[in-house]
Chain A
Amino acid sequence: MTDPRALRLEGVAKRFGDGAGAIQAVAPCDVAIARGTTTALVGPSGCGKSTLLRMIAGLEAPTDGGILFGGETPDTLRRRAGLAMAFQDAALLPWLRLRGNVALGRKLARRVPDAAADDALIRLVGLAGFERRRPAELSGGMRQRAAIARALAGDPDLLLLDEPFGAVDELTRERLNAELAPLWDARGTTTLLVTHSVIEAVRLSDRVLVFSPRPARVVADIAVPLARPRHSSAALADLCEAVRAALRG
């Protein structure tokens, strides 16, 4: 892939600490991800997926290698609010109501306030009616959905989702999958999605990267050439099986 607009990771590696107690979280890793696509990252717990995502977001400096998105480093991308991340623990501010938390995404990204658009996002993630609730009054899954709405509010070019549906029940998850995917496809957002659900990975993404146990290395790179919307099908099941096989190693 030679598209200069792609997300390119070249020899990216991360080691925590040094000396005998050092932990190699991410092995040197070369990946190119086409602009406007959705890529799922799957791998065993603790293998380094969050670390990789945090490095792409510029929150963590790689110990080796470089990252470019459309020719920009994570830091410049960050500075012009070109990326948004939904965190594993939602990271909602407890003193803000749901609406305030979603609006915060726009505010942090220095976009003009747009209450109507915020409300539309809240409806999209199925939280209509909860606009005036505080995070403490929401369930874990509701908080994660709020975090996704907040990430979308800034209208990012690069969307990083760290297990965004981890605490959402199966049915809501399927509904969200069905409704959110077209949204970021339509916006041309480049999306990286960390998930533990193989079926979700295959349903949502154009490509699944399977990582080894720590230190994270790409052990399988599986394209998902299926049309959307993706209903259960033999091809889907085959792809899921391929991902599972790669995960088993």
Chain B
Amino acid sequence: MIRMPRVVVWAALLLGWEVFARLTADGFVIAAPTEIAQYVWRNTGLLWRATGVTGWVALQGFVWGNLAGVMLALAAVLIPRAERGLLTLALLAFCLPLVATGPILRVLYGPGQGPQVTLAALSVVYTTFLSVLVGLRAVPQSWLDLARSYGRGPVTLLALVRLPAALPYLVAGLQIAAPAAFLGAMVGEFTGAERGLGVLTVRALRGLDLPATWAVALLAAALSMAAFAGIGALGRRLSLAPPEILLAAPDDARGRAGASIQGIAAVAVALAVWQGAMDAFDLPRFFARRPGDVWDYLVTAPEAGAHRANLLAALGETLTVALPGYGAGLLLGAGLAALLTLAPPLAALVLPVSVALRSIPIIATAPLIVWALGRGAAGSITVVAVMIFFPTLVACLHGLARAPRPLMDLFDSYDAGPLRRLWGVQLPAMLPAFFASARMAVPAAILAVTTAEWLATGRGIGALMATVASTSDYAMLWSAIAVIGLAALATHAGVAALERAVLRRTSPEQLAG
């Protein structure tokens, strides 16, 4: 094969893009590189300022959210009794529909960056909490025994054993958190801010300005990838071994009582936190609705039936898009990962690319996808599927790579062939990673579908929330948040239950952690 200089390859790609964009100009989907460059050239100052604003918001959210996540994880390890409650709290932050929370935070904070920073922080708490918790726990029994055999307590154990063991997990968690914080910041800006890349996106969409939409999406993608790569490089600098299992089920061995009890507890905690926060800050009832108000609005008020019908219709519309997208993203991600192991050189090629693509804030590209595929269901389903596809692919590739070497050798020694090996060794090894990403994908799917609806399609619960936010119909907004949060918690609990049932048979050691 002739080796072409990189520059030539890139030039050819750009040229192809340009030609394709020009040819499909009528389709109004793909902006040509020259158009994008022109836009960037003319608006350098604007883009620069917007990047500064969003970057600063994301950074603040990143710091606060990760601090909270690490603190929660430390508390969970030092006070094992509190673990269940802390886990629920972090999960709640994760399942909160960011799109709907934005407008409420806006009223709460007034003008300024408060809402964006809060959303950015909220979108990283859970993943960091979980990675650090798993890291603090990913300690073989014998290391714990070692410290105990010298009569040393939990503090020594934490300082000498658990913290160093958790460091690679922290770095991996921070890597995931960087694009997530960026995403949270942009979603915050979508739902009403004065400045920032999210504002530019909304403006470009309203003005049907294709090059601008592309330019902002590319910029957001590049920034996220840079942050992702930067933290990765830092980890390598510290010569940390990449973690064994990330985002594994943390405490399911004790979860005998079943997912339903945990789910009910989560709802109870959610209601208590909600009521408590509203009362503690003595927020005006006009917009700071309490659980009781939502109950009135949906159940006991005279027009409750109409409210319910309105909300459930929108939810139904959203679910018919979210569920197929969720399933498709998971299956395609896992399927491609499995296929790739049959061709290891290809897998080695795809992994870094998909790790990079995973770090793109897909939301920023959602408008492009919706434009490309139309405002019907196909566009939104694709947005959801893409949002889930890359993390699942990466997680599954990692899981497959962790198939125990001796078992692989055993199968090879019988010349079992790649398919039998895939079925007998690699797929079971992949399952924990698959289920972990299936769990994490639930809120991601909701975020993707509601954002697409809010920004582009004008259907479903996302659009409903956009409407009621602009008409200050706070009762409906709170009801939407409650219903979506509940749906997310329920789905999450369902996936976790399925995960336990399957892993109990295929890899019980993952549950014992």
Asked if A26 CB lies within 8 Å of chain B CBs, one says no
Given A87-B142, A91-B140, A94-B241: A78 and B149 interface contact (C-beta under 8 Å) = yes
Residues of B157-194 at the interface with A, using a CB-CB cut-off of 8 Å, are 160-161, 164-165, 167
Interface string of A87-124 (1 = CB under 8 A from B): 11111011100000000100111100000000000000
| CB < 8 Å neighbour of A104 from B145, B151, B160 | B160
- Assess whether A85 is in contact with B149, with CB atoms less than 8 Å apart: yes
B501 in the interface (beta carbon within 8 A): no
- CB-nearest residue of chain A to B241: A94
Chain A residues in 8 Å Cβ range of B143:
91, 93
CB of A79 within 8 A of CB of B151, answer yes
CA distance A203 to B145 in the complex (A): 29
Q: Is A198 in the interface zone, CB < 8 Å from B?
A: no
Q: Would A81 and B150 count as touching, CB distance under 8 A?
A: yes
- Chain A CB count within 10 A is highest, among B149, B151, B167, for B149
Q: Is the CB of B241 within 8 A of A84?
A: no
**Given A78-B151, A93-B161, A108:B156 Cβ within 8 A:** yes
A95 to B145, CA, bound (A): 18
A130 to chain B, nearest CB (A): 18
List the A residue with the shortest CB-CB distance to B150: A108
Q: Does B203 contact A (CB under 8 A)?
A: no
User: Closest residue to B157 on the A side, CB-wise?
Assistant: A108
Asked if A59 is an interface residue, CB under 8 A from chain B, the answer is: yes
Query: Within 8 Å of chain A (Cβ to Cβ): is B146?
Result: yes
Residues B146 and A87 in contact, CB atoms below 8 Å apart: yes
Q: DSSP majority for the B interface?
A: helix
Interfacial chain B residues near A57, Cβ < 8 Å: 145, 149
Determine if B319 is an interface residue (Cβ-Cβ < 8 Å).
no
Chain B contacts for A59, CB-based, 8 A: 145, 148-149
Chain A residues with Cβ below 8 Å from B165 are 93, 95
**Cβ A84 vs Cβ B161 within 8 A:** no
Task: Identify the closest chain B residue to A90 (Cβ).
Answer: B142
Interface membership of B152, Cβ < 8 A = yes
Determine whether the beta carbon of B150 is less than 8 Å from that of A84.
Answer: yes
Interface residues of A in 63-92 (CB under 8 A from B): 75, 77-81, 83-85, 87-91
Tell me the minimal C-beta distance from B394 to chain A in angstroms: 24
Docked CA distance A110–B153 (Å): 13
A56 CB → nearest B CB, Å: 10
Q: Is the CB of B150 within 8 A of A91?
A: no
A76: nearest residue on chain B (CB-CB)?
Answer: B151
Which residues from chain A contact B152 at a C-beta distance below 8 Å? Answer: 108
Please tell me the number of chain A residues within 8 Å of chain B, measured between CB atoms.
Answer: 27
Expressed in whole angstroms, the Cα–Cα distance for A58 and B152 within the complex equals 12
Residue from A59, A80, A83, A109 whose CB has the most chain B CB atoms within 10 Å? A59
Chain A nearest CB from B164 CB (Å) reads 5
Does B147 sit within 8 A of A, measured CB to CB?
yes
Task: Tell me which residues across on chain B come within 8 A of A215, comparing CB atoms.
Answer: none
Is there contact, CB below 8 Å, between B149 and A107? no
Q: How far is the CA of A95 from the CA of B243 in the complex (A)?
A: 12
* A48 located at the interface, meaning its Cβ lies under 8 Å from any Cβ of chain B in the complex: no
Q: How many residues of B contact A (CB 8 A)?
A: 19
> Which B residues are CB-close (under 8 A) to A58?
148-149, 151
Kindly provide the distance from the CB of B154 to the nearest chain A CB, expressed in whole angstroms. 14
Give, as a whole number of angstroms, the nearest-CB distance from A62 to chain B.
Answer: 16
A154 on interface, CB distance cutoff 8 Å: yes
Those of A16-60 within 8 Å (CB) of chain B:
54, 57-59
Contacts of B149 in A (CB 8 A): 57-59, 78, 83-85
With A93-B161, A94-B241 already in contact, the answer to whether A81 and B151 are too (CB < 8 A) is yes
Q: For the complex, give the distance between the alpha carbons of A57 and B160 in Å.
A: 20
Q: Which residue of A lies closest to B146 (CB)?
A: A91
Q: Which residue of B lies closest to A82 (CB)?
A: B151
Asked if A78 and B142 sit within 8 Å, CB to CB, the answer is: no
Nearest residue, chain B, Cβ from A104: B160
Partner of B145 from the list A81, A83, A85 (CB cut-off 8 Å) is A85
A87 to chain B, nearest CB (A): 5
Whole-angstrom distance from the CB of B138 to the nearest CB of chain A? 11
Distance between B510 CB and nearest chain A CB, rounded to angstroms: 19
If A79-B151, A91-B140, A94-B241 touch, whether A108 touches B146 (CB-CB below 8 Å) is yes
CB distance from A18 to the nearest CB of B (A): 16
- B145 contacts A91, C-beta separation under 8 Å: yes
Partner of A95, one of B140, B147, B151, B164: B164
Query: Which A residues are in CB contact (< 8 Å) with B240?
Result: 95
Inter-chain contacts of A84 with B (CB < 8 A): 149-150
Quick check: B145 and A108 within 8 Å, CB to CB?
A: no
Q: In the complex, what residues of B have CB within 8 A of residue A79's CB?
A: 151
Among B151, B156, B240, max chain A CB count under 10 A is at B151
In the assembled complex, the Cα of A57 lies from the Cα of B148 at a distance in Å of 9
Distance between Cα atoms of A139 and B240 in the complex (Å): 21
Report the minimal beta-carbon distance from B238 to chain A, rounded to whole angstroms.
10
Chain A minimum-CB-distance residue to B148:
A59
Closest Cβ neighbor of A77 among chain B residues:
B151
Residues of B within 8 A of A87 (CB): 142, 145-146
Are the CB atoms of A89 and B142 closer together than 8 Å? yes
Residues of B within 8 A of A77 (CB): 151
Other A-B contacts than A77-B151, A154-B150, 9 sampled, CB-CB below 8 A, are A78-B150, A81-B151, A90-B142, A91-B143, A93-B143, A93-B161, A93-B165, A95-B167, A107-B160
Which B residues lie at the A interface, using CB under 8 A? 140, 142-143, 145-152, 156, 160-161, 164-165, 167, 240-241
> What are 24 of the A-B contact pairs (CB < 8 Å)?
A57-B149, A59-B148, A75-B151, A77-B151, A80-B151, A84-B150, A85-B149, A87-B145, A87-B146, A90-B142, A91-B143, A91-B145, A91-B146, A93-B161, A93-B165, A94-B241, A95-B167, A95-B240, A95-B241, A108-B150, A108-B152, A108-B156, A108-B160, A109-B150
